[in-house]
Amino acid sequence: MNYEDFVKVLGASRTQVFSLDDAQRILNCKRAYASLFVSRNIKKGKLILIKKGTYAMPSSGYAEVATNIVKPSYMSMAAALYYRALVDQMPNEIIVINPIMSRKIMLKIPEGTYAIRMVKVKPERMFGFAREESGKGFAYIASPEKAVADALHMPGYCPESYIDDALISGKIRVHKTCCSSFRVHARPRRRENVQVKE
Mean pLDDT of 55-82: 95
How do residues 140-155 score in pLDDT, each as one tens digit?
999 999 999 999 999 8
pLDDT at residue 166 in the model:
87
- The pTM of this model reads 0.81
Question: What sign results for the dihedral spanned by CA atoms 58, 59, 63, 67?
Answer: negative
pLDDT at residue 194 in the model:
38
Task: Please tell me whether the peptide bond between 58 and the residue prior to it is cis, using omega within 30 degrees of 0.
Answer: no
CB 145 within 8 A of CB 128: yes
How do residues 106-138 score in pLDDT, each as one tens digit?
999 898 999 999 999 999 999 999 999 988 899
Which letter does DSSP use for residue 97 in this model? E
pLDDT at residue 183 in the model:
41
* Rounded Cα–Cα distance for residues 107 and 13 (Å): 23
Q: Which CATH number fits domain 3-56: 1.10.3470, 1.10.10, 1.10.260, 3.40.50?
A: 1.10.10
| Percent of the residues in the chain that have a pLDDT greater than 90, as a whole number | 73
pLDDT at residue 62 in the model:
94
Burial of residue 59 (CB within 10 Å: 0-12, 13-18, 19+) is middle
The least confident of 35-39, 73-77, 153-157 is 153-157
More confident residue, 40 or 169: 40
pLDDT at residue 95 greater than cutoff 90: yes
* Rounded Cα–Cα distance for residues 58 and 45 (Å): 8
Numbered ranges of CATH 1.10.10 in the chain:
3-56
How do residues 4-32 score in pLDDT, each as one tens digit?
999 999 989 899 999 999 999 999 999 99
How do residues 162-184 score in pLDDT, each as one tens digit?
988 888 877 777 654 444 444 44
CB 148 within 8 A of CB 168: no
